[in-house]
Structure 1
């Protein structure tokens, strides 16, 4: 609300746009924690290496001039982006019900449980 009142965030064609998407962060072959996901990649020369990484689902309020992250949810080991985004969208709809008028995302989010949240 403050961002709108101060004219920091503007609508896009009269719509307040929320964007949900998954992102990968913090990749390392050395550092790991209990929340890391892992994968084996093949390097030059056929050498296999285990990579440890974190993934997050983010909810971004997007405007024509400025966008910012409103909330973020980790994608835990053994789960996918949809599980994380469901938790994220549940929380965003509860905590910021008037912050957006439309939500966009890629085709991965064309699931009935996501639609029923919105």
Structure 2
């Protein structure tokens, strides 16, 4: 069991994560929110991003599907062993931007969006 825990925990190293955004509206905000972690996928295909992960040019890449505002699901691809903390960090960085886009899509007042973004402490 300790081996499984070590694999799931990973080494905690965080590298660049390329963002492949099929909505065309979230990637720039994701990168702007954390330039140390995220970079734009640019014109790279999933195959090219997969090769970049294998060659350790990037630690992972995230695909934001065109239906993310409905599904709320993103997919991250990595070499493995990146750890639960790293995956949670990536998800935690992107999720608030998806929530904001959903609220904007349904015409939520900007004051309400601001309250949601502040959250609780």
Shared fold per TM-score greater than 0.5: no
Question: What is the TM-score of this pair, normalised by structure 1?
Answer: 0.26
Structure with larger Rg:
1
Structure 1 or 2: more strand by fraction: 1
Question: What is the TM-score of this pair, normalised by structure 2?
Answer: 0.26
